[in-house]
Amino acid sequence: MNSKIISAVCVAFLTLAAACMDDPEKAQEHYDLALEYQESGQVANAIEEYTKAIEAFPAQYQSYYNRGLLRAGQGNLTLAIEDFDDTLKHYPEFADAFHNRGLAWGGKGDHNRAIENFERALEIEPDASDTYYSKGAAHLAIGSLRRAISSLDQAIAINDKKSDYFAFRAMAHASQGNEELSEADFKSAVSLGWNAVLLREQVNAMNARSRNSQ
């Protein structure tokens, strides 16, 4: 083979190899800049910098995760799920990634897949009240009322200061026809800051639906 051709091939190979090498320091620079953009609300710029960080160092799971959160916030749920998938490839024990992937699946209307992810998250962090709440809300969405109430019971047992937990359990009890239990949770939710008018409308509608189904 001509020596010039060999030389050109070698240069091309070395250039490609250099391009494929991980660069953690460069990735950290892009990651830090992405955080600054994220904190200042410049979402598009933050996503761009997280993407550059990933290109520089594909094993940096935080960049996938944060980009996934931003994409979920934009409503780009399919892309968010892909980012959470990649996060979990690099960090399989990251409970928050399972939780947020579950939220994204729930946002797409696949509540069964959402529940699977919440359960995986709870295997890693069994005291995560927000994950029990998310699981309860997903069960409520598919009409699995006993499981919804059970999950919300567990959320409230861990943290009884969140109005959302009581509001959703009030709706679950109302859907079951347990008006007394629903009313007790309604009062707790309102006392913790939930909008009384909106919750009353939801609870009344579920009470009526339950009576009509009997």
Mean pLDDT by 10 residues, the chain (214 residues): 43 39 85 95 96 94 98 98 98 98 98 98 98 98 97 98 98 95 98 97 90 75
Say what the pLDDT of residue 214 is.
66
pTM (predicted TM-score): 0.87
**CB contact at 8 A, 135 and 162:** no
Say what the pLDDT of residue 210 is.
80
Closest of 82, 38, 44, 43 to residue 64, by C-alpha: 82
pLDDT in tens, 95-107: 999 999 999 999 9
- Structural domains of the chain in order of their starting residue, each with its CATH number: 19-92 (1.25.40.10)
Query: Between the CA of residue 73 and those of 46, 53, 70, 124, what are the distances in Å?
Result: 13, 20, 5, 25
Say what the pLDDT of residue 11 is.
37
Q: Locate 152 and state its tokens.
A: 């919300």
Say what the pLDDT of residue 21 is.
56
Say what the pLDDT of residue 24 is.
84
